[in-house]
Structure 1
Amino acid sequence: MRTDVGPDLMRRWVALSGAAAESVGAELIARYREPHRRYHTVDHLAAMLSVIDDLAADADDIDAVRYAAFFHDAVYAVDRADNEELSARLSESTLAALGAAAELIGEVARLVRLTAGHTPRPEDRNGGVLCDADLAVLAADESGYDAYAAAVRAEYRQVPDEVFRPGRAAVLRGLAEQERLFHTPTARARYESAARANLAREIALLTG
């Protein structure tokens, strides 16, 4: 039986924002429980935060990265192309209402927008950690990766196979053609080879 990660997410949110912000955290976590989600859920958020913990030494502002993880998929709908932008705007308004410093608000929003393409600059240590955490699932073992791919397909369940398969393959090819999938030294060493093998395998299944 899967353990509910909600309490741990709330603990993490309160550690970042303080107990006074608990109701805001509850509203934010509830977004990741929306019924249309199958992959972009509380489990994905919890997994990201765990990877961020592992990569913390590679970030310049680990709190900004953790905030960005909480917000990066706060707005998510498969029929929209502006999820990251809307999520970034939500981070700006929410953190401003909590009295966060302008510098933090700007950095969190920038990081959330960065997840639209996962292409941080080489010197962008915060962006590297966030993007690596978001894509770490690509390096899962075979069963874990297959569960991820199935969950993504379930989110697009209204899209027929003849449309989904070439579209998904194009997205995966775009990732596979990048010079490097992961940006921090730790993530490259741990994840790069396995992720590329998984991408190649799914592309072959989609196009074979």
Structure 2
Amino acid sequence: MMIGELFIATASKVTSDASLVQSFWAEIGKQYSHRSRRYHTLAHLEKMTAELVMVKEQIEDFDAVVFAIVYHDVVYNATKKDNEEKSAELARKRLTSLSYSLSAIDRVAAHILATKSHHISEDNDTNLFTDADLSVLGAPWEAYREYYQQIRKEYAIYPDLLYKPGRRKVLQHFLDLPAIFKTQAFQTRYEGPARENLVRELETL
């Protein structure tokens, strides 16, 4: 099931207002299709969804994870540092409009905010969610190279003099972690390849 269909099906469990659900999906699609985006697009959501469907049996509240997937990068501006907060805020507004439970909305917001630091969480759903968000780091080299080239295009406003030191800092941060991925499922599949990719990209900077 594509992420759009999954979002509509999930939201339709909460409300019978089909037009409201469709309007929210249209808004989401418009945001992720903005011309400034190269990596943070609907394709990124599809990849995350595929990763999380594979570990669905380990997820306690899959509906909350679906909402977190579609809203986690809904606000994205490469020049701003509050994208996660603004994305979580919009998710709260829209899910409140759907009459989704407040406790579940809090959980969705927590998943989204966790993508800012990617620190380990007491909530295993959050850990699986943030691991899926980072799964591209362990992709085959050609796919990984396409990813970092897309990220560079999203940051095109910055010259190499500014971009490269910042990118090196990000890559080194991940390499310095005891483990990039927090869950066994993602560590097993992606930890080794991710470290190889990060080192290889560092050599290009």
TM-score (norm 2): 0.94
Matching of residue 166 in structure 1 with residue 165 in structure 2? yes
| Shift of residue 120, structure 1, vs aligned partner | 2.4
Once residues 132 and 22 of structure 2 are traced to their aligned partners in structure 1, the CA distance between those partners, rounded to angstroms, is 24
Q: Distance in 2 between matches of 1:82 and 1:136?
A: 22
1:110 is displaced (CA, Å) by: 1.0
Aligned length: 199
Structure 2: distance between partners of 1:86 and 1:100: 19
CA shift at 1:62, angstroms? 1.5
Q: How many angstroms does 1:61 deviate by? A: 1.2
Secondary structure at the residue paired with 2:131? Answer: helix
Distance, in Å, in 1 between the alignment partners of 2:204 and 2:58 is 35
Structure 1 residue ranges (4+ consecutive) displaced by more than 2 angstroms after TM superposition: none
Query: How far apart, in 1, do the equivalents of 2:194 and 2:158 lie?
Result: 26
Aligned-partner Cα distance in 1 for 2:58–2:167: 31
Q: Aligned partners of 1:25, 1:120: CA distance in 2, in Å?
A: 30
The two structures have a TM-score, normalised by structure 1, of: 0.92
2:140 aligned partner: 141
Q: In 1, distance between residues paired with 2:3 and 2:188?
A: 27
Deviation by residue 1:173-197 (Cα, 9 ceiling, x = unmatched): 1111111111121111000000011
**Alpha-carbon deviation of 1:58?**
2.4
Give the conservation status (yes or no) of the 8 Å contact 1:65–1:129.
Answer: no
Aligned-residue Cα RMSD (Å) equals 1.3
Q: How big is the shift at 1:119?
A: 0.9
* Percent of aligned pairs sharing the same letter: 35
Structure 1 contact 71–87 (Cα < 8 Å) conserved: yes
Following superposition, the deviation at residue 65 of structure 1 comes to 1.3
Aligned residue in 1 for 2:5: 11
2:124 is matched with which residue? 125
